[in-house]
Homo-oligomer: A and B are copies of this chain.
Amino acid sequence: MFREKQFLQLPGPTPVPPRVLRALSEPMINHRGPEFRELLEEVTAGLQWAFQTQNEVIIFPAAGTGGMEAAIVNFISPGEKVLAVSIGVFGNRFAEIAGRFGAVVEKMEFPWGEAANLDQVAERLAADRSGEIKAVLITHNETSTGVFNPIQDLRRKMGHHPALIIVDAVSSLGAIELKTDEWELDVVVVGAQKAFMLPPGLSMVSVSSRAWAAAQKCTNSRYYWDLGSARKYQEKGQTPYTPALPQLTGLRESLRMMKEEGLPRAHARHALMRDMTRRAMRALGLELLAADAAASASLTAVKAPEGVDANRIRRAARENYNVILAGGQQKLDGVIFRVGHLGWVQPLDIVATVAAIEMALLDCGVSVPLGAGVKEAQEVLRQALSGR
């Protein structure tokens, strides 16, 4: 199999464009010198554009999980209460991190495959008259189920409750609209290896002025994740410790590509690939985990046919057709497969992926009409083109 022609249809790591791969292999520079300052200023301004914010955006040399840890230890002191809204594995992870660092975690769980009911969240906050809840932790796009939460309304629904809104946008920002300032989101965490088309190794965190004020009072232990220290260094064009240079030169290049496409077109492309995938899977008689209204533009979770292990389908797709699909996590392991359609992915990749899924199903003894899913995907694509 041609390894470099693999269809990497994961919700991260996502395919990295050759332009960005080349930008990774620049020679090292002095991270305390003038060239680095220029690099940091360019990528920081670019991130503000992508986050749609005037807030500072801090970059950590870390996985997305590191940004999530930073979003806890800088704002929540041990003993303080957070309301953790969870619709899947990553919502649970956010709650778990908060708990590990001494937060009193009140979890609001919704069934896996559904979005959170934000009216219920608002009701809970309305009942918290003493303002005991210091922050709402919420996943924008839940990577384990392919569901997104409509957080654009959250601040409005919260009324005057002073809790910070802390958003895990690791797998959404860049693929799904997220307006940090307009929606008044205090802390937004993003990972590199998703819609930013970068290899893993960076986590980016935006911080509102309300959140900075909370950080000053926060007593949780922190050194590596100390946002205040990062902010101070950023003012002089540096970082508190050695930055991940390849991912930063890569980020400069990927931000240039993102600007060339523009956010509205990127969002439309992701939504189109979502619609292609969903219509195709349904044409094959497969059930989708998420309802249409909650369906993520980053990835689609598909239930394996009754009695078939989803991981067998994934293995056939990988071994026979060079298409990499993600599996289900925890209680969804073996039950679903996940089709990533975010980052450097184009509609025709989805057509090919659908074709591979059709054939992999047949290889697993599931009778499906070859080409039926492909035809649906093609129709959605052509309809989108005619509408332009």
Binding site for B on A (CB under 8 A): 3-4, 6, 8, 10, 12-16, 21-22, 24-33, 61-66, 69, 96-97, 100-102, 191, 193, 199-201, 220-224, 240-247, 318, 324, 326-327
CB distance from A332 to the nearest CB of B (A): 14
23 chain-A/chain-B pairs, Cβ below 8 angstroms: A8-B29, A13-B245, A15-B28, A24-B25, A24-B246, A28-B193, A28-B199, A30-B326, A33-B318, A61-B66, A61-B200, A63-B224, A64-B241, A65-B242, A97-B223, A100-B221, A191-B242, A200-B244, A201-B244, A220-B221, A221-B221, A244-B244, A246-B247
A326-B31 Cα distance, complex, nearest whole Å: 10
Q: Which residue of chain B is the closest to A244 with respect to CB atoms?
A: B201
Contact check, B100 vs A201: say whether CB atoms are below 8 A apart. no
A220-B25 Cα distance, complex, nearest whole Å: 38
Q: Which residue of chain B is the closest to A246 with respect to CB atoms?
A: B199
A364-B221 Cα distance, complex, nearest whole Å: 45
Q: A200-B245, A244-B244 are in contact. Are A222 and B27 (CB under 8 A)?
A: no
Q: Which residue of chain B is the closest to A243 with respect to CB atoms?
A: B200
A232-B61 Cα distance, complex, nearest whole Å: 23
Contact check, A32 vs B246: say whether CB atoms are below 8 A apart. no
CB distance from A67 to the nearest CB of B (A): 10
Q: Which residue of chain B is the closest to A35 with respect to CB atoms?
A: B3
Contact of A27 among B15, B30, B220 (CB under 8 A): B15
Contact check, B8 vs A27: say whether CB atoms are below 8 A apart. yes
Q: Which of A33, A191, A240, A244 neighbours the largest number of chain B CB atoms within 10 Å of its CB?
A: A244
Q: A102-B221, A224-B66 are in contact. Are A242 and B12 (CB under 8 A)?
A: yes
Contact check, A246 vs B201: say whether CB atoms are below 8 A apart. yes
CB distance from A247 to the nearest CB of B (A): 7
Contact check, A61 vs B201: say whether CB atoms are below 8 A apart. yes
Q: Which residue of chain B is the closest to A6 with respect to CB atoms?
A: B27
Contacts of A97 in B (CB 8 A): 223
Contacts of A224 in B (CB 8 A): 62-63, 65-66, 69
Contact check, A200 vs B65: say whether CB atoms are below 8 A apart. no
Contact check, A10 vs B30: say whether CB atoms are below 8 A apart. yes
CB distance from A362 to the nearest CB of B (A): 23
CB distance from A68 to the nearest CB of B (A): 8
Q: Which residue of chain B is the closest to A324 with respect to CB atoms?
A: B30
CB distance from A344 to the nearest CB of B (A): 10
